[in-house]
Amino acid sequence: MTGIDPRTPVLVGVGQASERVDSEDYRGLSAVELAAEAARQALADCAAADPGRLAAEIDTVAGIRQFEVSVPGAHAPLGRSDNYPRSVANRIGARPARAILEVAGGQGPQHLVTELAGTIAAGGAEVVLAFGSEAISTARKLAGAEDKPDFSESVGGQLDDRGFGLTGLVNRQMIAHGLTEPSLQYAICENARRARLKQSREEYAAGMGELFAPFTRVAAANPHAAAPTERDATELATPTDRNRLIADPYPRYLVARDQVNQGAAVLLMSTGAADRLGVPEDRRAYLHGHSDLRERRLLERTDLSASPASVLAVRRALDMAGVGMDELAWLDLYSCFPIAVANIADEFGLRADDPRGLTVTGGLPFFGGAGNNYSMHAIAETVRRVRAEPGRFGLVGANGGVLSKYSVGVYASTPAPWRAPEDDGPQAEIDGWPAVVRADYPDGWATVETYTVRYRGDRRTGIVVGRLEADGRRFLATTEDADTLALLTEGDPIGARIYARSLGHGNRVAMDQARMNRLFPPRPAGLREDYEHVLVRREGHLLEVTINRPDAHNALHPPANVELDEVFDAFFADPDLWVAILTGAGERAFSAGNDLAYTASGKPLWVPKNGFAGLTNRAEMPKPVIAAVNGYAMGGGLEIALACHLVVADAEAKFALSEVKVGLVAGAGGLVRLPRAVPAKLANEMILTGRRLSAPEALEYGLVNRVTEAGGALAAARELAAEILDGSPTSVRTSLRIMAETAGIADPVAAVNHPTDALDDLIVSEDTLEGVTAFAQKRKPVWRNR
């Protein structure tokens, strides 16, 4: 083609493949085979050279990640390829120099097309094939069969595996409160939108049905649709046995359908390559506008009811293409849930009955949510349409995360020069938007900002995003309380007043404080007679605490941590207990930290708010705690010892932060306390390599106070405790308090002059009077501890 740069990227071929398990011609194709079939169609769609010759020209292949490799620990019940892009390439006779496996997320297909177009324009590639596929229906159908197929492939070769791409999409609070499933995350936003629009539950449900009813008509006419059934708005929005509630406000028909067998592929090349290979003009489509923007993290957003970053991406892509929304002939707005469509429609005034329609495929709930690859189908269909009607434009909006990552493409068959991405400035602006302050441990009166209810059989769990009345901070909490669930399911809870309480296993909400106290009674004061995982011995003013799990190397799981937290609460509250010793049962280990076997069993792992052993996160430790380390203090075990004021170790003790060996970090204080306890370079080595220190080394570097003969740590700790008990408990507490208050002050003079009430309290205490008097009378003081 004359008048256009030969490196200008152009889309020249598209293909789709699908099969339904209930069809007569069902073949049980793997994901690789579905993608290969779509790729063959894309090659043939070029109407150029022989497809075999064309395949040999492909220098780059890029695959969209399947669901079964999209999150850590995902399972492929029928096996999978170790290099999906090259497996597909092998099927079609391609031998590309480069293979890419994209990050997870529905934005992937459009993001890849934009990126690869830029690569072509920059001369980094000439002929590129992008594709994706899912065989989820087949995997579910055949996983339990005795003669199930094996889709495993060992291909090897170069692969640019970009990883999961999950950073920013989930955090510890969301995991702790079960807000990890897309249906729940989007429901939180959906209910926030309902509140913004001031609609009743019934009005909003009707609106969702009206929005998606036209989608079903498109799907019903699409031969690749997984659910080609036309339904009206009422049927979509009304819960029934078949249309069961998934998460308020979603019944099943309104959420993405992932049970599909579908594949799609797009072939791109430079205009020069298209000319050389004889691709006809009527097979070419151009990317006139594009944008890729990322929203703030979900719980940081000031408004959970919308994603302005997604809207901005659409606006910028249209501006780059030089067209307005009303000039588009076709749109495909990512439709995993109604709000993903409504978010764009709200801003651009698009109606549910827009004569153009808001989908070219039928949308994710009806055409099918083909994993991360849905928008590859939308691109294929849009390219087919713009080629058929030259001069008209189509837009594809591809969404990933929770309205988190939005990639937009504007297509037409009219030749257009390539324009490089211009998103850096807008993305910096988005990143600079104010973030909501979060409360990880909310306690007190609050209001409901938004919510959802998860339905699993007969079990219902409410998930609440709330705001504390005291300071407006946002928090997550759950509830299974009948009264609170009634508020969430029957009334209009948004703006309602609730009571929040933070617990080690998560935050909870109830209708009021009295109800919260009935659901979670305050812990009784004092020590219990016995514990399941802890031994407690009280002798005078000394408390000895033993982690009693020797068969597990005294590793801690939630029940053990709860007991230790309770014991130390009682210790710090009891005026007659002045010093505590913590040790481990047996001779092999003080504590091996987290019980990884417990975690591997699938049980939830959590720690009390005060941290491992009830110590590592404790805000105040006003009385001395001595660690008697017998054997290994590994990982969390060393973090516990670091949290103690004094450490006595026997000669066989070993100290290490070994978290990096199991893919974790020493997040319970080890990363903070160890560099303050030993020389920085040594701390770095221990943290980054898991290096173990022997007891003599630990003594040399100041990590422990004393080393004893093997088996003598507890006896030596008792001797050290006796020395502390010989002094004034009031003076000991005051000393600890002042050290804590001045710990962050670098200048010694400023630290000495730091204003504190502690000394004022001390000089009027009975212990001070007794100490001075006893000294003058040359007798042993009798401490009052008051």
The predicted pLDDT at position 786 comes to 65
Mean pLDDT of 204-225: 97
Percent of the chain residues topping a pLDDT of 90:
82
Q: State the virtual CA torsion across 460, 463, 469, 475 in degrees, nearest 10.
A: 150
CA dist., res. 265 & res. 453, Å (int): 38
pLDDT confidence tier of residue 365, bands split at 50, 70 and 90:
very high
**Pairing between strand 589-591 and 579-584?**
unpaired
**Mean per-residue pLDDT for 229-239?**
97
Percentage helix, strand, coil, to 5, in the chain? 40, 20, 40
Catalytic residue among 37, 210, 381, 659: 659
- Report pLDDT for 71: 86
587 included as an active-site residue: no
Helix (H) or strand (E) holding 100: strand 98-101
> Residue 50: pLDDT band by 50, 70, 90 thresholds?
confident
* pLDDT for the residue numbered 767: 79
Contacts with 535 (C-beta within 8 Å, 6 or more apart), sequence order:
545, 546, 548, 585
Find the helix or strand (DSSP H, E) in which 578 lies: none
Q: Which helix (H) or strand (E) holds 373?
A: none
Helix, strand, or coil here: 514?
helix
**pLDDT interval class at 750 (50, 70, 90):** confident
Q: Is 313 exposed, middle or buried (0-12, 13-18, 19+ CB in 10 A)?
A: buried
Q: How far apart are the first and last CA of the chain?
A: 94
Question: 170 φ, ψ to 5°?
Answer: -150, 150
What gap in Å lies between CA 639 and CA 625, rounded to an integer?
14
Report CA 361 to chain centroid distance, whole Å.
Answer: 30
What pLDDT, on a 0 to 100 scale, did the predictor assign at position 230? 97
- The model's pLDDT over 174-211, given as tens digits with 9 standing for 90+, comes to 989 999 999 999 999 999 999 999 999 999 999 999 99
Q: Which residue did the predictor score with more confidence, 269 or 170?
A: 269
What pLDDT sits at residue 737? 87
The pLDDT of 345-368, averaged and rounded, is: 97
How sure is the predictor about 217, in pLDDT bands with cuts at 50, 70 and 90?
very high
What mean pLDDT value characterizes the chain? Answer: 94
Would you place residue 249 in the very low, low, confident or very high pLDDT band (cuts 50, 70, 90)? very high
pLDDT at 762 exceeding the cut of 80 = no
* Each residue's pLDDT tens digit, 322-334: 999 999 999 999 9
Per-residue model confidence as pLDDT tens digits over 506-528: 999 999 999 999 999 988 889 99
From the list 19, 68, 381, 639, the catalytic residue is: 639
Is the pLDDT at 419 greater than 90? The verdict is yes
Q: What is the pLDDT of residue 48?
A: 78
Interval 617-647: pLDDT, tens: 998 999 999 999 999 999 999 999 999 999 9
Q: Report how far residue 324's alpha carbon sits from residue 317's, in angstroms, rounded to the nearest whole number.
A: 10
Q: The tokens of 683 are what?
A: 């701390």
User: Could you tell me which residue, 370 or 213, shows the higher pLDDT?
Assistant: 213
Residue 420 has pLDDT above 80, yes or no: yes
**What mean pLDDT comes out for the span 560-576?**
95
pLDDT cut 70: percent of the chain above it: 99
pLDDT band with cut points at 50, 70 and 90 for residue 652: very high
Residue 601 clears pLDDT 80, i.e. is over it? no
Half-sphere exposure of 226 (CA within 13 A, CB side): 26
Mean pLDDT of 31-36: 98
How many CA atoms lie less than 13 Å away from 70 in the CB half-sphere? 20
- pLDDT of 595 higher than 80: no
In this predicted structure, the answer to whether residue 602 has a pLDDT above a threshold of 80 is no
Give the lowest-confidence range in 246-250, 621-625, 751-755.
751-755
pLDDT over 90 at 63, yes or no: yes
| Cα-based distances in Å from 224 to 363, 370, 402, 718 | 12, 11, 26, 75
pTM: 0.90
Mean pLDDT value across residues 391-397: 97
pLDDT of residue 773: 85
Asked if the model's pLDDT at residue 783 lies above 60, the reply is: yes
Q: Among 142-146, 198-202, 279-283, 326-330, which stretch is predicted with the lowest mean pLDDT?
A: 142-146
Query: Does the active-site annotation cover 659?
Result: yes
Stretch 148-167: mean pLDDT: 92
Q: Taking 70 as the threshold, does the pLDDT of residue 26 lie above it?
A: yes
The pLDDT score that the predictor gives to residue 51 is 78
